[in-house]
Amino acid sequence: MSNPLYDNLFGKYIGAKTSFIETSDGRIITHGGFVAMAARLANVFKSMGLKKGDRLAIQVEKSVTALCIYAACVQSGIVFLPLNTGYTANEIEYFIKDSGSKLLVCDDEKLSEISLKLQDIEIELLTLNENETGSIVELAKEQKNIFQTVEANENDLAAFLYTSGTTGRSKGAMLTQNNLLSNAKTLVDYWQFNNKDTLLHALPIFHTHGLFVAINVCLISGSKIILVPRFNLDELINNIPKATVLMGVPTFYTRLLSNDSFNNKLCEKMRLFISGSAPLLAETHIDFEKRTGHKILERYGMTETNMSTSNPYEAERRAGTVGFPLPGIEVKITDPKTENELPRGEIGNLEVRGPNVFVGYWNMPEKTKEELREDGFFITGDLGLMDEDGYVQIIGRDKDLIISGGFNIYPKELELLLDEQEGVIESAVIGVPHPDFGETPLGILVREKSAEPKIDKIEKIIKSQLARYKHPKRFIVIDELPRNTMGKVQKNLLRDQYRDTFL
């Protein structure tokens, strides 16, 4: 049996002369050129003795060659393991040991430090730099442009992605060929991608959003990619007139709005702006539509599931929601105690089932059993609700739930109210230890540049609109919230920083 992911994502464009990737330095890579480079890299891996099922880890900056390595792994049946470029050598050591990777591709600048850390581990090391140089590039030059696809089936593993590990040891989520392929096909149809589209790609490629969503969707639809190394406001502004789609995180859109040249005229060729990985403020939705005439499409996904829900392409895109379950995917809200499905409008655990859902955590059968039910539903760890019209809302992470004096407090409810207040750009509400209540909500407010939040006024508004047990016992005003590379607020860092506030 041929490898379905390779045949559908890469094989259909062999020999095609149309442009596929345009880089920020003006290079054009055709579909044929991309597939030929992937074949050369696959031959490199074969010459090194890597075979189907082996793991290849990669920690490099974004480049065309990095994408070709992904393609080569898929064609070879090698399990692809992308690692965050911010990880230290200590963290890399854990991922290599846990995954049992046979090869690590890293930047030349990190090679000596990583080599020292991994000196007692049996693993090959190659290098790839952001400027497309490195030992792997030199080895590829000696290889043929054709590689015989390794036979595989849809249940074979295609990739590992490690979770962030903010609540413990990082877990390697195992994703199959069909997990990736089925989701990409669904998104192409749902978001109406075709070979006339050009995606402006400014996301990292070590993450579900930037790799398995953005790249796979373009490969299946034949869309062109404008590949920029990372988010840069000027670079996005310069490239938007050439694009039709932008996938981003909320930070992309707030920063675009901060530039006066970002307007309706600049976006006249754009048909779709997609946002995910963190919630968009209602204010951003409103300002963006006023400025451009476009409604941002929010969707919901995670490492273990790829994309699960999306606001519709043609029907109402409802701010504050992540839309409906995608075709072929089931979403339900369950009671954390009884595990029974809850009526619409009630908050509970968000669970997902479908061909997009991963098959388990590598070397963690007990953790897999805890989070992946026997009937196929995955307990996401997110709290959500489904409204009367079927739109899904994400209330927050289960671990962010605050239990104060026996009462459940959902930070999102407070944050939505705080974000509306004068002098507040955005907010985060966290639970911190309290001698009387066990824990209590603490409000973290990000100040506007031209106006300081008026705490007395904010406290009066909260008092008038929310039950007393929900009131934050204190507010702290800061310049910005800590975020990870995908724009998510790192509440764990805030909890660590302010945990002794009331002790």
Cβ–Cβ under 8 Å, residues 267 and 261: no
Lowest mean pLDDT among 86-90, 240-244, 332-336, 356-360: 86-90
Cβ–Cβ under 8 Å, residues 204 and 250: no
**Angle formed at CA 81 by CA 78 and CA 82, multiple of 5 degrees:** 135
pLDDT(42) > 90: yes
What would the mean pLDDT of 23-50 be, rounded to a whole number?
A: 93
Cβ–Cβ under 8 Å, residues 77 and 53: yes
| Cα Rg, the chain, nearest whole Å | 23
Residue 485 structure tokens: 């590379």
The pLDDT, as a whole number, for residue 133 is: 97
What would the mean pLDDT of 458-469 be, rounded to a whole number?
A: 87
Q: Give the residue from 153, 181, 201 where a domain finishes.
A: 153
End-to-end CA distance of the chain: give it in Å, rounded.
63
Give the helix ranges, DSSP H, for 84-224: 89-99, 108-117, 135-141, 177-190, 214-221
pLDDT(485) > 80: no
pLDDT(396) > 60: yes
pLDDT(16) > 90: no
The pLDDT, as a whole number, for residue 7 is: 67
Q: What one-letter code names the amino acid at 95?
A: F
pLDDT(437) > 80: no
Helical pair 455-465 and 411-418, crossing angle rounded to 10 deg: 130
What would the mean pLDDT of 468-475 be, rounded to a whole number?
A: 90
What would the mean pLDDT of 65-90 be, rounded to a whole number?
A: 92
CA distances from 309 to 99, 209, 350 (A): 30, 13, 12
The pLDDT, as a whole number, for residue 8 is: 62
324 in a domain, yes or no? no
> Beta strands 103-106 and 28-30: pairing type?
unpaired
Report the DSSP beta bridge partners of residue 82.
58
Q: Give the residue from 115, 134, 153 where a domain finishes.
A: 153
The pLDDT, as a whole number, for residue 166 is: 42
The pLDDT, as a whole number, for residue 488 is: 80
pLDDT(14) > 60: no
Provide φ and ψ at 297, rounded to 5°.
-95, 115
CATH code, domain with 23: 3.40.50.12780
The pLDDT, as a whole number, for residue 138 is: 97
Counted domains in the chain: 2
CATH code, domain with 450: 3.30.300.30
DSSP state of 145: S
pLDDT(489) > 50: yes
What would the mean pLDDT of 380-405 be, rounded to a whole number?
A: 88
Helix and strand counts by DSSP (H, E) for the chain: 15, 25
368 in a domain, yes or no? no
For residues 18 and 470, give the distance between their C-alpha atoms in angstroms, rounded to a whole number. 58
What would the mean pLDDT of 426-455 be, rounded to a whole number?
A: 89
What count of other Cβ atoms lies within 10 Å of the Cβ of residue 194? Answer: 10
Lowest mean pLDDT among 197-201, 269-273, 276-280, 362-366: 276-280
One DSSP character per residue, 38-65 reads HHHHHHHHHHTT--TT-EEEEE----HH
For residues 296 and 288, give the distance between their C-alpha atoms in angstroms, rounded to a whole number. 8
320 in a domain, yes or no? no
Domain residues for 62? 4-153
Chain-wide mean pLDDT for the chain?
90
pLDDT per residue as tens digits for the range 288-343: 999 999 999 999 999 999 999 999 999 999 998 999 999 999 999 999 889 999 99
9 in a domain, yes or no? yes
pLDDT per residue as tens digits for the range 222-273: 899 999 999 999 999 999 999 999 999 888 998 899 899 999 999 999 999 9
373 in a domain, yes or no? no
For residues 378 and 329, give the distance between their C-alpha atoms in angstroms, rounded to a whole number. 12
The pLDDT, as a whole number, for residue 409 is: 85
| Class of residue 195 by CB neighbours under 10 A (exposed 0-12, middle 13-18, buried 19+) | exposed
32 in a domain, yes or no? yes
Name the band, by pLDDT with cuts 50, 70 and 90, for residue 478: very high
Q: Give the residue from 135, 153, 171 where a domain finishes.
A: 153
113 in a domain, yes or no? yes
Name the band, by pLDDT with cuts 50, 70 and 90, for residue 167: very low
Cβ–Cβ under 8 Å, residues 136 and 48: no
123-128 contacts at long range (C-beta below 8 A, 24 or more positions apart): 123/96, 124/48, 128/58, 128/60, 128/63, 128/65, 128/66, 128/69
439 in a domain, yes or no? yes
